[in-house]
Amino acid sequence: MSVAISPTTERPYGVERVCSAWEAPRSTFYAQRTAIGSTSKPIHSMKRGPKPLLTDEELLVLIREDLAASPFHGEGHRKVWARLRIVKKVKVSRKRILRIMRESNLLSPYRGRRLEGPAHTGEIITARPNEMWGSDGIRVLTVDDGWGWVFSAVEHWNAECVGWHVCKIGDRFAALEPIAMGIDRIFGRTDAEVARGLSLRIDNGTQYLSDHFVKQVRFWGIHPSFAFVEQPQTNGVAERFNRTLREQALNGRIFRNLDEVRVAVAEFVERYNQHWRLEKLGYLSPVMARIAHVESVAA
């Protein structure tokens, strides 16, 4: 196109005019023309800068020798780079060592997490009541009392909140309160072995891992069932209830003190148990589902 004759000026268009009309840099045109007429390797595919003293293959041999000679295992590229530089006097960039070790799968497996996939089957809903409860705590901010805690206990079968507790200090004693409330409400007393056969799904928080908490729930006959680490879905019933509690009663409100939080939580729990309809229950509320279950058993 650049050598074509313009019918107006009767002169060639020229490379500059054609590249300007096509919005293409002239350097690209000349580079492509040179590449077409040359059998040598293109310049852009060659490594820039001075040639290193050691090739990647030679450096990989030194890296493998250093890892084999090290008395430790699981070391990363920084240690390898430091020993090569200090002990063997090999001057090489740390990032180059990282690149070669990554390409050769020599990096420590502990530097990155390798998840094997969820070991849980995904089934946490029970077929009958009083087989498994879930418990968890959330924090809420107040003006006068600062941060406080809201603990809850939720039935896995119908997602009913069987117990709750609002407090300032979220320790192991506070975490037991909603469990005790639920036991008293469902079983009518809090004697030893009263809830035998019940499992309690909890996470790995310090409150739930304490000896006091574990021994107390076992006194009631409850088996602690800990959720998998970094898999909150295994405690999904309690987590979902807390999300609903936040969205429906806590978020967007300014609480003066924890007494106002207690009133809000108490009102919500009553409203939730009576009127919150769930798809898994055939759009019955938790209380409706429990009443229907009792009637079916009695019949």
Q: Which two tokens stand for residue 90?
A: 């090999």
Single pTM value for the model = 0.62
Q: How far apart are CA 248 and CA 52, in angstroms?
A: 64
Compute mean pLDDT per 10 residues along the chain, 299 residues long, and list them. 69 77 76 66 60 90 92 81 90 92 82 55 84 96 97 97 97 97 96 96 95 97 91 89 95 96 97 93 93 90
Q: What is the pLDDT of residues 151-177, one digit of tens each?
A: 999 999 999 999 999 999 999 999 999
CA atoms within 13 A on the CB side of 285: 11
Buried b (16+ CB within 10 A) or exposed e, 272-295: bbeebebeebeebbbbbbbeeeee
Show the DSSP H helices in 203-257 as ranges: 206-209, 211-219, 236-245
Whether 199 and 131 have beta carbons less than 8 Å apart is answered as yes
